[in-house]
Chain A
Amino acid sequence: MPLALVRVDSRLVHGQVVEGWVPHVMANCLLVVNDDLAANPFLRSVMELAGNPSLRIVFCTLDEVSGAVAEIDRRGEKAILLCATPSDAARILAGGVRFAALNIGNLHFGAGRVEITPSVFFAPEDYESVEALQRQGVQVEVRGTPFEPGKSVGGGGFEF
């Protein structure tokens, strides 16, 4: 399995990922799964600047994800998969990419969102996606960086 970590993060590639998780899980590839980015070459080119000789950054759409993971596997790389929302993560799982654990790093605040941790705010549809993932055996954990303790969500319901 080439995926060292599957993470939901509104900001996708940023400092917590590049300076925190990449060295922690010793990844050498970031797979950014996002339809908006795949269609925006300017934003992609800026995001690529966050890579370095030992960190390749690849982009794909939600539909292409299983092919992209197979390609990473073929190259023998260890990757962190990044997507923007829990529902994207659920679609990735449904698309045939298996993963046992999901890390939720940042979900930005917005009207009607409920605070889970200071940097993760759930909308109603996020609860649904997370429950759907859990029903398929995925362990969901809210954790910004490797330096802080994780907070597990789930076991059927949410604790507040």
Chain B
Amino acid sequence: MVWRFLLTAVLGGICYLDRTAALQVMLHRPLIVGSIAGALFGSFPAGAAAGAVLELLYIARLPVGASIPPDDTGAAIFAGAGAATAAEMAGGAIDYAVVAALLLLSVLCAEAGKVADRFVRRVNCRIAHVTIAAVDRGDIAAVDHGLLAGVTLFGAVGAALSVLFAGFGVMAGRWLPEVFSPGEQDGFAHLFPLLPLLGAASVLSCSRSERSSIFFYLAMAIAFAGILAWHWGFR
């Protein structure tokens, strides 16, 4: 278990860095982070399933200026680790009631991660002040050091959040299957299909044009008809 959390700290820290401080090559997307968390905690497919749903939920919230979107990276670590833990205990089977409950609970991580992000950016103000004061004294290397300090802070907080959220995820993944009696269709299993639907709506809300709305519903109808025809044939 210890090596799992160590790897979570390292890989989670890297993914968190990609979110703001470095690269922005989309390593921080929930599909990827959820899959990694899943692989680390026993079930890659379960983690990926949770991550794929989270991928779109917050997609319409843009990181513009000082406006910080909810932390979907952290949410994916929580839900991915939880889904994988539950699946591992069930011999690999994914229980969608558990996944739905995990995804809904992951909101708390998304909001907590946002608070931590704000904290880092506030501490960075101090780093920037120190850097500027040092440059005033003629210390050129302070620019490199200041940046390194900022990156380190982003990375360290990311690693800590990763371990914390993964820990909560594992706890929730162990506890939730006990709460849900096996094989029973309960409330959360019925809620699961609403989550990808929320994701689809999130994508549509990125665009305001009439054309996009028409194309969205047209594509949905054609795809649905196609899927039915493919699976059922024309009875």
Direct A–B contact present (CB less than 8 angstroms)? yes
Q: Which residues of A contact B (CB under 8 A)?
A: 11, 14-16, 19-20, 23, 26, 54, 106, 117-119, 144-145, 147-148
Flag whether B231 is at the interface (Cβ < 8 A).
no
Assess whether A20 is in contact with B67, with CB atoms less than 8 Å apart.
yes
Contacts A54-B209, A118-B121, A118-B122 given; does A106 touch B64 at CB 8 Å: no
Flag whether B65 is at the interface (Cβ < 8 A).
yes
Assess whether A144 is in contact with B208, with CB atoms less than 8 Å apart.
no
The residue of chain A having its C-beta at the shortest distance from the C-beta of B63 within the complex is A15
Residues of A within 8 A of B65 (CB): 11, 14-16, 106, 119, 144-145
Q: Which residues of B contact A (CB under 8 A)?
A: 61-62, 64-67, 69, 118, 121-122, 208-209
Assess whether A119 is in contact with B66, with CB atoms less than 8 Å apart.
yes
Residues of B within 8 A of A26 (CB): 208
A148, B67: Cα distance in complex, Å: 8
Contacts A54-B209, A118-B121, A118-B122 given; does A19 touch B64 at CB 8 Å: yes
The residue of chain A having its C-beta at the shortest distance from the C-beta of B121 within the complex is A118
Assess whether A144 is in contact with B66, with CB atoms less than 8 Å apart.
yes
A2, B64: Cα distance in complex, Å: 26
A148, B68: Cα distance in complex, Å: 9
Residues of B within 8 A of A117 (CB): 66
Assess whether A16 is in contact with B67, with CB atoms less than 8 Å apart.
yes
* Nearest chain A CB to B230 CB, angstrom units: 36
Assess whether A15 is in contact with B64, with CB atoms less than 8 Å apart.
yes
A123, B85: Cα distance in complex, Å: 53
Assess whether A145 is in contact with B209, with CB atoms less than 8 Å apart.
no
Assess whether B66 is in contact with A19, with CB atoms less than 8 Å apart.
no
Assess whether B67 is in contact with A19, with CB atoms less than 8 Å apart.
no
A90, B178: Cα distance in complex, Å: 63
The residue of chain A having its C-beta at the shortest distance from the C-beta of B118 within the complex is A118
Q: A interface, by DSSP: helix, strand, loop or mixed?
A: loop
* Nearest chain B CB to A30 CB, angstrom units: 15
Residues of B within 8 A of A148 (CB): 67
A14, B62: Cα distance in complex, Å: 13
Residues of B within 8 A of A11 (CB): 65
Residues of B within 8 A of A54 (CB): 209
Contacts A118-B118, A147-B61 given; does A106 touch B67 at CB 8 Å: no
Assess whether A145 is in contact with B67, with CB atoms less than 8 Å apart.
yes
The residue of chain B having its C-beta at the shortest distance from the C-beta of A22 within the complex is B208
Residues of A within 8 A of B121 (CB): 118
What would 15 A/B residue contacts be, using CB atoms closer than 8 Å? A15-B62, A15-B65, A19-B62, A20-B64, A54-B209, A106-B66, A118-B66, A118-B121, A118-B122, A119-B65, A144-B66, A145-B64, A145-B65, A145-B67, A147-B61
A159, B64: Cα distance in complex, Å: 27
* Nearest chain A CB to B202 CB, angstrom units: 13
Residues of A within 8 A of B62 (CB): 15, 19-20
The residue of chain A having its C-beta at the shortest distance from the C-beta of B64 within the complex is A15
A14, B63: Cα distance in complex, Å: 12
Residues of B within 8 A of A119 (CB): 65-66
List 20 additional A-B contacts (Cβ < 8 Å) besides A106-B65, A119-B65. Answer: A11-B65, A14-B64, A15-B62, A15-B65, A20-B62, A20-B64, A20-B67, A23-B208, A26-B208, A54-B209, A106-B66, A117-B66, A118-B66, A118-B122, A119-B66, A144-B66, A147-B61, A147-B67, A147-B69, A148-B67
